[in-house]
Amino acid sequence: MAKPNQIIAVEKGVKTKAHHDLTAAHHGLRKPALLAGISRTYQPKDEEGEQLPPESTRVQVQAEEVLRDTARTLTRLFDVTATKDWANCTARADVTVDGRALLTGVPVSYLLFLEKQLTDIATFVRKLPVLDASESWVHDPSTDAWKTDPVRTVRTRKVPRNHVKAEATEHHPAQVEDYYEDVPVGYWTTVKFSGALPARRLNELTERLEKLQQAVKFAREEANGCEVDDRRAGDAVFGYLFG
């Protein structure tokens, strides 16, 4: 018996070897010279004729032997993959957060799906808008949004004024400087609203997400550590194909 994590650990190497061996076999069978052999002897027409040595070329590749070798290589790949896929149907674990099982009997394939989805959700959560920390916010039930306390500001208007720098004399006119003065004419009362999240809420979401991600990883490790039966699919397949 084996464990799914052990099968996963050797699967890549088995796949690589099977691909390499199958490619080599394919190339070998495409070279007619390796499959061909010959044996010939020479006999002169009469006893005084030139004597020539026999010639022979040995067959270097036997197609049936290539089939047997290919079957052996691929049988290992088929068995490893079958064991992993059957294990994925039976290897299960609970996703537990803070002592409470959120999901029970979850298969490995779904745990892998959860891991990927939670990674995407984490990216989404990190980009959520947060309320401006420089303001003081309270929740407004009537708008279901956040709002600030009213802030009163003065509205002003520029009114032209002049300032006599020098009085008029018998020889010179008065020197007058024109300028504008900001004169209060009213008051603005401003309340800001926002649909963003408080930092506290974002921290809460982030903490929950991290806990769930950790729980899913633990569950996957637990499921992959279960004992599973080794599967022997290769013999049946290649016993039929090449038998």
Q: For 166-182, how does the pLDDT look when each residue is reduced to its tens digit (9 = 90+)?
A: 787 777 787 878 888 99
Bridge partners, 227 (sequence order):
none
Question: Residue 3 pLDDT more than 80?
Answer: no
Question: Residue 8 pLDDT more than 80?
Answer: no
Q: Is residue 78 part of a domain?
A: yes
How crowded is the C-beta side of 40, counted as CA atoms within 13 Å? 5
| Nearby residues of 134 by Cβ (< 8 Å), 6 or more positions away | none
Same domain, 243 and 164: no
Same domain, 106 and 180: no
Looking at residue 134, its pLDDT comes to 93
Q: Is residue 45 part of a domain?
A: no
Question: Residue 151 pLDDT more than 80?
Answer: yes
Average the pLDDT over 199-213 and give the result: 96
Domain that holds residue 128: 94-133+196-224
Q: Is residue 235 part of a domain?
A: yes
Looking at residue 1, its pLDDT comes to 63
For the chain, how many structural domains are there in total? 3
Q: Is residue 138 part of a domain?
A: no
Question: Residue 212 pLDDT more than 90?
Answer: yes
Question: Residue 224 pLDDT more than 80?
Answer: yes
Q: For 40-67, how does the pLDDT look when each residue is reduced to its tens digit (9 = 90+)?
A: 988 888 888 888 899 888 888 788 888 8
Dist CA 69 CA 54 (whole Å): 33
Which of the two residues, 122 and 225, has the higher pLDDT score?
122
Same domain, 186 and 203: no
Same domain, 107 and 200: yes
Residue/partner pairs of 11-17 with CB below 8 Å, 24 or more apart:
11/80, 11/81, 11/84, 14/76, 14/77, 14/80, 15/77, 17/73, 17/76
pLDDT-derived band at 148, boundaries 50, 70, 90:
very high
